[in-house]
Amino acid sequence: MSATDAPAVADRLGDFVAALDRAGELTRIAHPVAARLELCEISDRVMKSPGGGSALLFEHVVRDDGTRSPYPVAINLFGSMRRMAMALGVTDLDAVGRRITELLELKVPDGLVAKLALIPRLLEVAKFPPRVRGGTPPCQATVWRDDEVDLSRLPVLTCWPDDGGPYITLPMVVSRDPVRGLRNVGMYRVQVLGPRTLAMHWQRHKVGAAHWRVMAERGETMPVCIAIGADPASIYAASAPLPPTVDEFLFAGFLRGAPVSLARAVTNDLEVPAEAEFVIEGYIDPGEALVTEGPFGDHTGFYSEADLYPAVHVTAITTRRDPLYATTIVGRPPMEDFYLGHATERIFLPLLRLTVPEIVDYHMPAEGIFHNLVFVSIDKQYPGQAQKVMNALWGQGLMSLAKVIVVLDRDVNVRDPAEAWWVALNNIDPERDVRFTMGPIDVLDHASRAFTYGSKMGIDATRKWPEEGFARTWPSRITMDPTTRARVDALWPALGIAAHGRNGGRGAAGGGNGGAR
């Protein structure tokens, strides 16, 4: 996609789906498909096709009771590099990181003209805060209360054969810090237990879980809203690992370049996206016993075990007039969530450099399911710097859950796992270059020695310096000289060799830093 056809950011999910359709990124499926297992199997095959496949709109979804759902189901909306960029209104995801870098580098210049030139950039920041609209918002065109509330009316998927039940998998879970009054919007899986009851999977490291623990200690009922489908920037923001003090709707406004429109919920005092397709309102009673949630086929590619989590009692369901049900599936990678995670990787690189400035680039490959493997390239300036970077990363928010960190020199393209491993395995002496430490582990990690606690591995795959005990000569990479390469490039059309072989061999041997491409 060229710089001239960057898409406008959609205000609601339906607009985004229509934009995908116009761009040839959407496949409509009119054939009846069951919400139980069948829709997952079809979507999984598409997601594992080259480039992530197309977005899918299932127009005839059969619910568990055998009836047709009145609501179409949209899935894999973010499941490619192009669609993820379209969701955020950019031509490439690094563009968002560059905007953040510009804001971080704002300095008051000398001279009146220069100061005046800075005003538009400062005013841009002031446009981001979300705004609460009055009147009846689109998300409350229809309101179900009391006995009208029935979650089985929604086409909630049962993804995998051994799942504990149907799951809402692409939610925006809204809660409020009971101490500071700050809003949080997180993306946590939610299991449907009955017509008016859900199980909320708060992972202990997540902000929503911290809110619940404080309110439970106080004996206070906790209001919760679960929005399904909104503007794509807000959906993405719910998945982003933001600090607890940063409002996800504020961040979505920054991504959109325009404020997110909010509305007050019908049965509690929380605020939800006014353009949401569905909103499930409810509460958690701290006096109640926890309920069994799971098992669930998770993004690790394995089932996570059933455990005890709080129950959400639904007080209302509100919808747009003709809503779409947005969902996703997780399982053995690559899946749609890889592209959401890749957006986070690109967007948050400038923020990571604030505290670890020597980082050139980093990448979390799909096979590493985010927290299991992180490749990092650094501008190495002194001995032991790779170990310093490992420890710094393990101190950065959810990066603390990273199981394996591989540190490489700046000339390695860490976005190419084949190149990164090729260089790393050539560069390491395992006993000298591998470090182990203990710390927090992802809730979903089934191999750790204890629940959420275990060991981590750091691999120093940088070139070794004499101060690091390396007395031998470090070899140079094998590369052809530029003159010969240019001469062969000119000869290539006359050689009768398949076109894909032209410029061959650059791959790992000639790869530069990914951030410069």
pLDDT confidence of residue 121: 52
Based on the fold, state whether residues 202 and 300 are members of the same structural domain: yes
| CATH number reported for the structural domain that contains residue 210 in this entry | 2.30.110.10
Q: Are residues 304 and 374 in the same domain?
A: no
| Whether residue 366 sits in one domain with residue 303 | no
Which region holds residue 58: left if phi is over 0, alpha if psi is between -120 and 50, else beta?
A: beta
Res 508: pLDDT: 37
66 class by beta-carbon count within 10 Å (0-12 exposed, 13-18 middle, 19+ buried): exposed
**Is 61 a member of any domain?**
no
Which residues are registered as beta bridge partners of 135?
none
Are residues 299 and 217 part of one domain? yes
Cα angle 336, 301, 196 (rounded to 5 degrees) comes to 75
pLDDT for 191-206, tens place per residue? 999 999 999 998 766 7
| Among 427, 448, 468, residue at a domain's last position | 468
Q: How many residues does the chain have?
A: 517
Which residue from 343, 294, 281 is spatially nearest to 83, judged by alpha carbons? Answer: 343
Of the residues 326, 342, 374, the one at which a domain ends: 326
Mean pLDDT in the chain? 88
- Catalytic, 65? Answer no
Confidence class for position 398, pLDDT limits 50, 70, 90: confident
Closest by CA to 264, choosing from 192, 208, 316, is 316
Torsion angle, alpha carbons of 230, 231, 233, 236, to 10 = 30
Note whether residue 483 is domain-resident: no
State whether 273 and 404 are in the same domain: no
Rounded to an integer, the average pLDDT of 217-237 is 93
Distance separating alpha carbons of residues 312 and 455, to the nearest angstrom: 34
Kindly report, residue by residue over 261-288, the tens digit of the pLDDT: 999 999 999 999 999 999 999 999 988 9
Whether the CB-CB separation of 509 and 477 falls below 8 Å is answered with yes
Whether the predicted pLDDT of 492 surpasses 70:
yes
Separation of alpha carbons 67 and 61, rounded Å: 8
Cα 408 from Cα 433, distance rounded (Å): 12
Asked whether the beta carbons of 272 and 259 are under 8 A apart, the reply is no
Whether 37 maps to a domain, the answer reads no
Q: How many domains does the chain have?
A: 2
Boundary of a domain, candidates 468, 495, 511: 468
Task: Examine the domain organization and report whether 168 and 315 are in the same domain.
Answer: yes
Residue with tokens 């809503």: 323
**For residue 394, is pLDDT > 70?**
yes
Rounded Cα distance, 144 and 136, in Å: 15
pLDDT score recorded for residue 105: 56
State the CB neighbour count (10 A cutoff) for residue 232: 30
Domain contains 436: yes
| CA 499 vs CA 129, 483, 502: distances in Å | 51, 21, 6
Predicted confidence at residue 514, as pLDDT, reads 37
Residues 248 and 137 in one domain: yes
Confidence band (pLDDT; 50, 70, 90) for 512? very low
Which member of 298, 361, 416, 460 is catalytic? 298
Residue 484 lies in a domain: no
- 495 found inside a domain: no
Q: Is residue 75 part of a domain?
A: no
Q: Are residues 155 and 283 in the same domain?
A: yes
Separation of alpha carbons 241 and 239, rounded Å: 7
Report if residue 171 sits inside a domain: yes
Q: Is the pLDDT of residue 220 over 90?
A: no
* Interval 166-174 mean pLDDT: 96
| Per-residue model confidence as pLDDT tens digits over 451-467 | 889 999 999 999 999 99
The β-bridge partners of 457 are 404, 436
* Phi, psi of 55, deg, nearest 5: -70, 150
**Which residue segment(s) compose the domain that 378 sits in?**
356-468
Q: Give the span between the Cα atoms of 93 and 85, in whole angstroms.
A: 6
Cβ burial 391-426 (10 Å sphere, 16+ → b, else e): ebbbeeeebbbbbebbbbbbebbbbbbebbbbbbee
398 & 312 share domain: no
The CATH number given to whatever domain includes residue 438 is 3.40.1670.10
In this structure, are 369 and 277 located in the same domain? no
Residue 178 shares a structural domain with residue 281? yes
Q: What is the distance of C-alpha 485 from the center of its chain?
A: 40
How far apart CA 149 and CA 143 sit, in angstroms, is 9
Residue 74: closest CA among 155, 143, 140, 166: 155
Chain centroid to CA 413:
22
Between helices 232-239 and 13-22, what is the axis angle to 10°?
110
Contact 193, 352 (CB under 8 A): no
Is the same domain home to 139 and 249?
yes
Task: Give pLDDT tens digits for 411-450.
Answer: 999 999 999 999 999 999 999 999 999 998 887 788 888 8
Q: Is residue 120 scored above 70 in pLDDT?
A: no
Q: Per residue in 309-364, pLDDT tens?
A: 999 999 999 999 999 999 999 999 899 999 998 898 888 888 888 889 999 999 99
Residue 74 has pLDDT above 60, yes or no: yes
Query: What average pLDDT does this structure show over 166-177?
Result: 95
